[in-house]
Amino acid sequence: MTGQWSELGRWWRADDGRVTAFVAVVAVALIAMIGLTVDAGLALATKVNEAAATAFLDQADAQGTVTVAGDTVSVVVTATRRTQLLDLFGIESLTVTGEGSAHPQRGVDGIDP
């Protein structure tokens, strides 16, 4: 019986400190899948934010561009409005351009200047 236990002990110790190729491949694949999921989710969130800014421009009847760089959304708006009183002096419309950018903040206690 002692021989059987020593044989079992030898078999058990044969794997000490070794990582099989299967475990290494599965770990790399798992990390890649998690990375793909996280990055795809962030990309989708950015696209949704950009779509919201574009929808706001359409609703405001303004023309402009929306760009995303990292976690910052930048909007440049150009709007043309007909004048009321300046039309008497030959100025039929005014073109106004504005730009702004925004990025998410967590744990905000006040407004950043």
Residues 71-99: pLDDT tens digits?
A: 788 888 888 888 888 888 888 888 888 88
Bridge-based pairing state of the strands 63-69 and 72-82:
antiparallel
Which range marks the domain in which residue 51 is found?
A: 2-102
- DSSP characters over 83-98: -SSGGGGT--EEEEEE
Number of domains in the chain: 1
Distance in Å from the first CA to the final CA of the chain: 80
Note whether residue 113 is domain-resident. Answer: no
Note whether residue 110 is domain-resident. Answer: no
Note whether residue 108 is domain-resident. Answer: no
Q: Would you say residue 16 has pLDDT above 60?
A: no
Measure the CA–CA gap between 113 and 44, rounded to whole angstroms: 29
Query: Cα separations (Å) of 81 from 61, 78, 94, 95, 98?
Result: 10, 10, 5, 6, 14
Measure the CA–CA gap between 54 and 64, rounded to whole angstroms: 8
Note whether residue 72 is domain-resident. Answer: yes
Note whether residue 11 is domain-resident. Answer: yes
pTM of the predicted model, to two decimals?
0.45
Note whether residue 30 is domain-resident. Answer: yes
The proportion of the chain whose per-residue pLDDT surpasses 90, expressed as a percent, equals 1
Note whether residue 109 is domain-resident. Answer: no
Note whether residue 78 is domain-resident. Answer: yes
